[in-house]
Amino acid sequence: MISRRSLMLGSAAAGLVSFAPSAIGQVPAVDTLPASAPTRRLSLTAQETEAKLLGPDKPATRHVCAYDGELFKIVRGRRGTRLIVDFENRLPDPTTVHWHGIRVPYLSDGVAPLTQDVVPPGGRFSYNVPLPDTGLYFFHPHCDETGQVGRGLFALLVVDDEAEDKVRFDAECFIVVKDWRLGDDGQWLEMSTEDGAANAGTFGNVRATNGQTTAPRVEAPAYGDVRVRTIVADATRVIDLGCDTDDAFMLAVDGQALPPVPFKALPDDVWRMGPAMRLDMQVRMPGPGQEVKIYDYRSSEPYLLTTLVAVDKGKHPSPLKAKALPPPRVPLPDVRKAKKLEFLIQMAAGPTIVSPSLPADDPLSKALVNSLCVGKTTHWAISRDSWAAGDALRLPPPLARLDNGASYIVSMTNVTKHMHPMHLHGHVFRVLSHSKKPKMPQYLADTVIVEPNETVDIAFKAVSGNWVFHCHILEHMDTGLMGWFKVA
Ligand SMILES: [Cu+2]
């Protein structure tokens, strides 16, 4: 398989496309752990493999992408430790690694060209990944993300710590929502379509949980409490997560604990999750032989994600009690002193897109994005500015220049017909309000859905770095729905 990108990489290597992140203007990088923090070295490769994605008796799929050749890999680390990740790209295409939701120094954020150049085939890059916060995270490429994540390139990163260990669960269960785009012959279909990119995204035609086309059945102790940890790793799909028992609580959003919320207290008894969003929940198991079913209720027919099967492990019925996780340790914004920035999420309107002009000596006015990591066309914009795409390879100016340590409210209004899960790199933000959902609990997150005709306000304490802010429906990002903040 020779892709457009590998052909283009030939030109890049020949110097026809040249760009170094240094031209953007580097700012001080902030490390979120002390230099004395214990360090663990981790080798990581991105590589191709084969897998039977359609089922055991169906043809195997070639050119599956996976870290260390292992689909749905789970990496676990202790809070307060630092991972030094020696990454090697064994794919035939350039790539990078982005540590989603982890507060890394921005030079390890994995965004070409803002924080690093692409890692070419055969290339290496060392990432400094401090783990200052517990929770469920993941990592994935930030170059040709639609194609590479679409073919399986991501892994879960679970950060545990002693305070959390004390909140004992009887079992832990992971639900990874990730569909495939495959023909009957088991080979990949085109990951992106023009129609999808300009609308809700291109959906997978084979639904799967943890890579399996039939919902996993997971045994758990009868009368026990299961920690169910769900992530939407799909590029497109938005789910309404819920279950068929009232004995369930929401414990953490995007890894950040909140006071437990009973599912039955949520609007429609579900939690809406778009691409990249995570949820930790507690489910109380019924008696031996009985089941709890976890569904995506957004499908026309509820789609079964996982069945928990209660097995007798000698536990007896006990009063239901929510298991609160230790509170988050992320820096919180001072909302009263925060400066408010307002943005529109909109369709790109071709020639009407204008960028504020920059002084001619500003390096940004010359900065070009490496064409390897951008989409073919532009459909979307943030306040009239689109990320580079197609032949328009100029890096847009920052959405705003922010001060390190200052608090900001970012108010996003979605004037499109589609929802957009917006992700801010390098920060965990407080979700202040959803204009269409006044009864939402208070929570922290790194990705938040903005519904059509909705305004969502988030607040955060800015950390020095060049940080992108984008829609996590990957085709929307590839076709313009990305901007960046310069924090210095
Ligand atoms: Cu979007």
Residues 359 and 464 in one domain: yes
For ligand 1, the distance from its centroid to the CA atom of residue 310, given in whole angstroms, is 39
CA of 321 to the centre of ligand 1 (A): 38
Residues 178 and 126 in one domain: no
- Residue 453 C-alpha to ligand 1 middle, in angstroms? 13
Distance 131 CA to ligand 1 centre (A): 28
Residues with CB under 5 A from ligand 1 (ion): 420, 471, 473, 476
Q: Cα of 477 to ligand 1 centre, how many Å?
A: 7
Instruction: State how far the Cα of 18 lies from the Cα of 8, in Å rounded to an integer.
Output: 12
Which domain-ending residue is among 165, 199, 225? 165
pLDDT at 23: 61
pLDDT at 360: 64
Residues 262 and 285 occupy one common structural domain: yes
C-alpha of residue 34 to centroid of ligand 1, in Å? 36
In terms of domains, do 156 and 183 share one? no
Q: How far is the CA of 236 from the centre of ligand 1 (A)?
A: 9
> What CATH number is given to the structural domain containing 302?
2.60.40.420
Cα(288) to centroid(ligand 1), Å: 43
Question: Does 222 lie in the same domain as 148?
Answer: no
Output the CA 194–ligand 1 centroid distance in Å: 14
User: Do both 15 and 159 map to the same domain?
Assistant: yes
Between the CA of 102 and the centroid of ligand 1 the distance, in Å, is: 22
What's the pLDDT at 354?
53
Q: Give the per-residue pLDDT at 141.
A: 96
Q: Which of 263, 278, 311 is the last residue of a domain?
A: 311
CA of 468 to the centre of ligand 1 (A): 14
The domain total for the chain is: 3
Q: Do 178 and 271 fall within a single domain?
A: yes
Ligand 1 centre distance from Cα of residue 476 (Å): 5
- Clarify whether residues 481 and 464 are in a common domain: yes
Is the residue at 86 inside a domain?
yes
CA 378 to ligand 1 center in whole angstroms: 12
> Measured in angstroms, how far is the CA atom of residue 382 from the centroid of ligand 1?
11
In a domain, residue 119? The reply is yes
Q: How far is ligand 1, taken at its centre, from the CA of residue 301, in Å?
A: 24
Q: What's the pLDDT at 350?
A: 61
Note whether residue 327 is domain-resident. Answer: no
469 and 353 share one domain: yes
> Do 367 and 297 share a structural domain?
no
Give pLDDT, residue 145.
Answer: 87
| C-alpha 26 to ligand 1 mean position (Å) | 28
Kindly give the distance from the C-alpha atom of residue 201 to the centroid of ligand 1, in angstroms, as a whole number. 8
Domain-located, residue 318: no
Q: What is the Å distance from ligand 1's center to 312 Cα?
A: 45
Render each residue's pLDDT in the chain as its tens digit; 488 residues. 344 444 444 434 333 333 456 567 788 899 999 999 999 999 999 999 999 999 999 999 999 999 999 999 999 999 999 999 999 999 999 999 999 999 999 999 999 888 999 999 999 999 999 999 999 999 999 988 899 999 999 999 999 999 988 999 999 999 999 999 999 999 999 999 999 999 999 999 999 999 999 999 999 999 999 999 999 999 999 999 999 999 999 999 999 999 999 999 999 999 999 999 999 999 999 999 999 999 999 988 999 999 999 999 999 999 999 999 999 999 999 999 999 999 999 999 764 445 556 666 676 766 777 777 888 889 999 998 888 888 888 888 899 999 999 999 999 999 999 999 999 999 999 999 999 998 889 999 999 999 999 999 999 999 999 999 999 999 999 999 999 999 99
**pLDDT given at position 52:** 95
Whole-number Å distance, alpha carbon 183 to ligand 1 midpoint, is 26
- Whether 244 is in a domain gets the answer yes
Q: How far is the CA of 369 from the centre of ligand 1 (A)?
A: 21
What distance in angstroms lies between residue 154's CA and the mean position of ligand 1's atoms? Answer: 20
Q: DSSP string spanning 74-106? A: EEEEETT-EEEEEEEE-SSS-B--EEET----G
Distance 9 CA to ligand 1 centre (A): 28
How close is the Cα of 116 to the center of ligand 1, in Å? 24
Q: How many A from CA of 31 to the centre of ligand 1? A: 30
Determine if the pTM surpasses 0.75: yes
Give the domain range for residue 235: 171-311
Please identify, among 165, 198, 224, the residue that sits at the C-terminal boundary of a domain: 165
Any domain includes 58: yes
Taking the centre of ligand 1 as the mean of its atom positions, its distance from the CA of residue 152, in whole angstroms, is 20
pLDDT of residue 31: 94
Domain assignment of residue 193, yes or no? yes
Whether 97 and 53 map to the same domain: the answer is yes
Same domain, 272 and 369: no
- Identify the pLDDT of residue 5: 46
Residue 381 C-alpha to ligand 1 middle, in angstroms? 10
Q: How far is the CA of 487 from the centre of ligand 1 (A)?
A: 24
